[in-house]
Structure 1
Amino acid sequence: MRPRITWKVATSLDGRIGTSTGESQWITGPQAREQGHRLRATHDAVLVGVETVLADDPRLTVRLPDGETAADPLRVVLDSRLRTPPFARLARAGTLILTTREPIVIGEAEIVRVAGDSQGRPTVEAVLETLSARGVRSLMIEGGGRVAACFVTAGVVDAIEWFRAPILLGGDGRPGVASLALARLAHAPRYRRLAVEPMGDDLWERYEKA
């Protein structure tokens, strides 16, 4: 059985995760970011694409207020061409890099080759099979827009945790989800809103697959 998949995203009001130059830290405020860490702590694994690694150099660890502790999830990077730098924060033990190329050494990260699509990127099916075999039952996707689009298009995103900041970044900003190539509204993936909650100046919106 595949993992339950949650897409967690922090955007502007107009659905952008960064400016046209790629600046994205921090769109949302401290309360929303803290809640993001709490969500991360409830998942077996968190996943990003290599573009997020190159742009933000994330740690993907759980960082909670003083006195609170939680285990870090497995960190997963989709990196078809193995562009993750050896000095990246994710190039360490506890990180799994999935690629379609012959594995090479990247710091202390584990590199695994999986099946690719026509463009040489890891297929969603191969990614989920690999994670399921490792006992991952819950996966949170944290970026970027192209990765989110792949999983949404595959119909496997079960829930969305959306943090929306009261700013506008415009059409040249980086979209939270890349092209879905939809010709008709009837083909659009549909979700049911569960809750909307203020988080400081931001909004936390929760959805599940309809």
Structure 2
Amino acid sequence: MTITLKLATSLDARIATASGESRWITGAASREQVHRLRAAHDAVVVGIETALADDPELTVRLPGYMGRQPARVVLDSRQRLSAGCKLVATARETPTYVVTTGAPDPALVDAGVRVIGVPATDAARPHLKSVVQALAAEGLSNLFVEGGGQVAGSFLRHGLVDAIEWFRAPIVIGGEGRPAIGDLAVAALAGAPHFRRVEVTQLGDDLWERYARVA
């Protein structure tokens, strides 16, 4: 199992303004590279808040691309994903999974969504290690986690992130903006997740930084 976290942020690690505006923080070259990274993974993973706010397709959209599309995975404990959203509407064309903590919603199942039940945490969210195990059982062992901040923080907090692909735009949003990474419960620096930078590339005005977890 390999899990990569993708971040597309301002210089101060914000993914949206306080009002939720996020399109587009990074430039076209960065967004194109994200599509290439998606193509290299088995599945793209997002949280329900990102799915509801952005109504994303989470597909590889590159000129002339004819390769395999990654599966789309939404962490959605209460199955709030709408039957009319793009992910559900295209579930029969591109494999789409909802990971929940309850019984499958018949409307999602009828639309072709694969609903997977896992145990809940004390906060009533899907237990992440169980999520990873369940996805591996589906043949999805190379995951590309795209957000949002709560999901990013949860994967980091549980020590599940092997690599980070960080696209950083030369703008500053400020403390009222929405953070790229949620709470980590770090009490001391020694307990913080550690990564080493392995590559830095300029993409237009953005920087693409690649990190690997320090064992």
Check if 1:43 corresponds to 2:41. Answer: yes
Check if 1:25 corresponds to 2:26. Answer: no
Deviation of the 1:137 alpha carbon: 2.1
> Matches of residues 1-210 of structure 1 in structure 2 within 5 Å?
3-65=1-63, 67-91=64-88, 92-93=91-92, 94-104=95-105, 105-106=107-108, 107-210=111-214
Task: Count residues in correspondence.
Answer: 207
Confirm or deny: 8 A CA contact 2:168 2:206 kept in the other structure. Answer: yes
Structure 1: distance between partners of 2:188 and 2:86 = 41
Deviations 1:113-134 (A, max 9, x none): 1111111111111101111111
Which 5+ residue runs of structure 1 have no aligned equivalent?
A: none
Q: State the one-letter code of the partner of 2:50.
A: T
Q: State the one-letter code of the partner of 2:6.
A: K
Confirm or deny: 8 A CA contact 2:157 2:185 kept in the other structure. Answer: no
Runs of 4+ that moved beyond 6 A: none
Structure 1: distance between partners of 2:43 and 2:149 = 18
Deviation of the 1:69 alpha carbon: 2.6
CA RMSD in angstroms, aligned pairs only: 0.9
Q: Which moved more, 1:105-114 or 1:89-98?
A: 105-114
Structure 2: distance between partners of 1:68 and 1:180 = 37
Which 5+ residue runs of structure 2 have no aligned equivalent?
A: none
Deviation of the 1:23 alpha carbon: 1.1
Structure 2: distance between partners of 1:108 and 1:134 = 15
Deviations 1:49-93 (A, max 9, x none): 00001111110000112x233211010000011111111111123
Sequence identity (%)? 53
